[in-house]
Amino acid sequence: IKAADSTYNAATASTSVQISAVVVDTSPPAVNSSSITVTPAAVYENGTFTVSVPVTDVTGVASVSVTVSRNASATNYSVGDQGFSSGTFNLTRTTGTALDGTWSGSSGVNFGGGASNGFLVSGLYDVSVTATDTKGQSGTTVKTSPLTVGRQAAGPTLINSAMSTTSLMRGNSFNV
């Protein structure tokens, strides 16, 4: 700022101004279903699997959870299977920042706390990732059938999306 008095003596002064911008977040965190990885792709009743996914958000991701659900569109054959058809667990950020990071976590297929019927039943499973940002906005993305669950004991597991459910009966043999 430059100013002069009545005798034309000039003086100069300066000041700094700080401007803050408020980030408006109107969208839930971004998750692309094709970026969801599940390893291994097939797991047995005493095994574990890992889910990893990059998640981004303008104000930051607060939490990410995974739900595995038995896929209803594929025919699942389980001989003597009893148990759950879904299970949920939380992921933690393993790389990056809350604004742009990769979230990962592992789970066993036993969601029953050790109960004999607490395992996921054999079949194909969809993986749903739900991410929530720091403003409480949530979004869910589904990857279809990236996980196959099978049993190690008490009978075979046959998974085939084209076979009729009436073409295989317990106690009957079949050719592969």
What are the pLDDT digits (tens) for 138-168? 999 999 988 888 765 544 545 555 555 445 5
pTM exceeds 0.75: no
Side-chain half-sphere exposure of 41, counting CA atoms within 13 A: 5
pLDDT at site 123:
79
Beta strands in the chain (DSSP E): 2-4, 10-12, 37-39, 42-44, 48-56, 61-70, 76-78, 86-96, 100-108, 123-133, 138-150, 157-159
Least confident of 30-34, 67-71, 98-102: 67-71
The mean of the pLDDT values for the chain is 78
